[in-house]
Structure formats: structure tokens, C-alpha cells
Amino acid sequence: MSAMSDLSDNLSFISPPIALEDIPQPRCLSLGVMASGSGSNFAAIARAIKEGNLNGEVKLVIYNNPDAGVKQRAMDHGVPHRLLNHRDYASREALDQDIVEHFRQAGVEWVIMAGWMRIVTPVLLDAFSRRVLNIHPSLLPSFRGVRAVEQALAAGVKVSGCTVHYAEATVDSGPIVAQAVVPILPHDTGETLHQRIQVQEHRLFPLAIALAAQPSP
């Protein structure tokens, strides 16, 4: 890793500025994870649980691509997993209804969209009202939608990052739970910036889950 990358890591920060171990977590959270790709955010959540930093249990991982790496990660962590290939469904609503049924059967309380590359519908959002969290690789509300990292580079902004928010029907909207800021370096590419954002995603997501599960004042 270069000295410039080290500097970037030192300048990255999470807001709100609170450590995961300082958040009260009196009850175990029953989590259902949705992922389409490698599953690195799922793995970060699973590690936080295993290390005792997040009081939760992943009841089920649902993935929509047969070759998604998250399947192997779920197997490595001993977590039940299920392929629901979106290509087998006539509509987004039909897929979401099947997801809801599988999560309910597994006893899931919170739905964690950890790199789920499909637009969700009110079928899922209403079934788990205010209990669906999504992560996005930008500082929302900036750079919504696909290729958010490339959007940030094209805009010439000096910082980017990632956001965990409550999912709503409008893509990449919903109240923000927590964000991590990542400086953009002069020679960043989409790949290098995305790699550094992912480092912060893995720190941010377990923290945001614990924050979201706090009882309302």
C-alpha cells in the first residue's frame, strides 16, 4: 500500500463518531441478508457477530445470481443460504414475495441489503417496514444509482464514501443511518477508489445495524 493510500485511510472517518462496542445491544438481532455478488459486506457482518461486537445472528442469506461469491462465504460461516434467481420470476413483486416468505420462515426481523443489485418493491418494504437497510457507495444524497464511484470521479468531488440508509421505494433514498467519508486521491481510478470505500463499508455496516436497532426515544 502506498504512502498516499495510508494517508487516505487516516483521513477517512465515520459519522456519527461512535464505536460499535459503545452502542447498547441488549437483544440479539435476527438478520436476513440479501446479496448479489462477492458478499464481502455479509462477511464483515458475520465477523462482527463472531467477534462479539454485534449482537445478532444471520438467519438466512438470499442471493439472486447462481455464481455469486456470497454463497461460499455463507457456507464458510455456517449460515443457511438460498438461491432465488430473479430470472425465474415474472415480476419484481413476485421475487420480493418469495423473499418475504423465506425470511419470515427463517424468523428474520431485519433485512440487510448487502450488495443486492435489484430494485426492491413495496412488497418487501411493507413486510419489513423500517427494518430494511441498504448500503450505497457514495455520500447520499449525491450520486444515486449505478456506477456511483464513477459518478463521483466524473464530477470532480474531493471526497466520496458510503452510506447506510433505510431502504424506500425510490432508489437510494430513505433516512440515513450512518456514513463514512473517503478522500479522493489525485490519481484515483474507479477501481482504487472503490477498494478504499469497501474498507469503510465493512466498518460501517455492523455499526449502522446496531444504531438502527436502537429503540426510539
pLDDT by position in tens, the chain (length 217)? 454 555 566 689 999 999 999 999 999 999 999 999 999 999 999 999 999 999 999 999 999 999 999 999 999 999 999 999 999 999 999 999 999 999 999 999 999 999 999 999 999 999 999 999 999 999 999 999 999 999 999 999 999 999 999 999 999 999 999 999 999 999 999 999 999 999 999 999 999 999 999 987 7
**E strands, the chain, in order:** 13-15, 29-35, 56-63, 81-83, 110-113, 132-136, 159-166, 176-183
Max CA distance (Å), the chain: 51
Q: Residue 129: exposed, middle, or buried by beta-carbon count in 10 A (0-12, 13-18, 19+)? A: exposed
Rounded to 10 deg, the angle between the 40-50 and 190-212 helix axes is 40
Q: Which of 77, 81, 136, 202 is catalytic?
A: 136
Based on the residue annotation, tell me whether 202 is a catalytic residue of this protein.
no
Pick left, alpha or beta for residue 126 (phi over 0 → left; psi -120 to 50 → alpha; otherwise beta): alpha
Query: What pTM did the predictor assign?
Result: 0.94
In tens, the pLDDT along 36-61 reads 999 999 999 999 999 999 999 999 99
- Other C-beta atoms lying within 10 Å of the C-beta of residue 83: 13
What are the distances in angstroms from CA 117 to CA 37, 38, 120, 155, 162? 8, 12, 9, 23, 16
Closest C-alpha to 206, from 6, 34, 7, 51: 51
